[in-house]
Amino acid sequence: MKKIETNLLDCYVIEPNRFGDDRGYFSPYFIGKDFDELGFERVVQCNRSMSSKGVVRGLHFQEDPKCQAKIVEVIQGKAIDVVVDIREDSPTYGKWFSILLTPDNNKQLFVPRGFAHGFVALEDNTVFHYLIDNDYAPELEGGILWNDPEIGINWDEIFKEYGITEPNLSEKDINREPLSKCKVKFRRGK
């Protein structure tokens, strides 16, 4: 496994080992020491979601005491994955990072606790796979506005590059507040 730093503190791109030939490939999943190296305590859930081209999900988080870290990958299709550091005591607070995730590029993203997470599907039937380190608690779900101008994610450039004319969002995500009005407070290491 290769762990690559991003511009956000504690957030990493992961390139798992891959072995194969003309018949296909095999990629061993994480083992204990790999999780330890990331600071990922345990796997509590494995989730999967499917989205059509142009669907934007996010920017989501889960509040304490059920805050979650995630390891995400695309196992079918293609997506731009986006994270925002919303830990108030972090030197990268309010900054964002994005990455193209596909089955072929063999990349995953480690999303630490205290980050907002989202993505845009670039193809129909894009399937995300998530490893999550804490229980799902719908009463603690939260989020920030996906296109918060203070954060400045380059959604328009992404949409133009991939031929998305109208992003498809849930009503809940359209009506979220910007980060500056977020009442939930996160700190590093929590």
- Residue 127's Cβ-count burial label (10 Å; 0-12, 13-18, 19+) is middle
Give the per-residue pLDDT at 76. Answer: 97
Exactly one of 25, 130, 136, 162 is catalytic; which is it?
A: 130
pLDDT digits (tens, 9 = 90+) for 150-167: 999 999 999 999 999 999
Measure the CA–CA gap between 39 and 60, rounded to whole angstroms.
21
Six-digit token string for 145: 């506005």
Confidence of residue 39 (pLDDT cuts 50, 70, 90): low
Exactly one of 60, 93, 117, 136 is catalytic; which is it?
A: 60
Measure the CA–CA gap between 183 and 177, rounded to whole angstroms.
10
pLDDT digits (tens, 9 = 90+) for 89-147: 999 999 999 999 999 999 999 999 999 999 999 999 999 999 999 999 999 999 999 99
pTM of the full structure: 0.92
Percent helix, percent strand, percent coil in the chain, to nearest 5:
15, 40, 50
101 with 72: CB under 8 angstroms? yes
- Domains, the chain: 2-18+26-181 (2.60.120.10)
Q: Is 60 tagged catalytic?
A: yes
Q: Is 130 tagged catalytic?
A: yes
pLDDT above 70 covers a percentage of the chain that reads: 91
